Amino acid sequence: MIWQFTVRLKDVDVMTDDLIENLFAAGCTDGTPASSNGSAWIGFDREADTLDAAIRSAVNDVRCAGCTVERVEIEQEELRQWQTA
C-alpha cells in the first residue's frame, strides 16, 4: 500500500539543491521536497505494509540525509485508511 504523509524538517528554512540531492541520495526518491515562508518539508508517497513502517523508513532516510525531523503530518483520510487496513 502507498501511504501519504508530510515530514517537516527542523531548522531548515529553504530547500537548496544540495539538500534535495542529499535527500534523494538517502532514499527519499518518493518524496517531494518543498519550502515556503521559512519552513521546509517533504511530501511522501511511501510504499509499505503499514503506515508505521512507511513513516519509520521515511524518517530514517531523512535522518540519513543529515536532517532532523520536526514532526510528521498525516491527513485525516490517510488515518481512516490506516484504521481499516
Instruction: Tell me the DSSP string of 32-49.
Output: EEEEETTEEEEEEEEE-S
Round to whole Å and give the CA distance between 80 and 33: 25
The answer to whether 50 and 74 have CB atoms below 8 angstroms apart is no
Which pTM does this prediction carry?
A: 0.89
pLDDT tens string 2-23: 999 999 999 999 999 999 999 9
In the beta sheet, which residues pair with residue 72? 7
Grid cell locating 52: 508505521
Domains of the chain as residue ranges with CATH:
2-84 (3.30.70.100)
Write out the chain's pLDDT in tens, 85 residues.
899 999 999 999 999 999 999 999 999 999 999 999 999 999 999 999 999 999 999 999 999 999 999 999 998 776 666 556 5
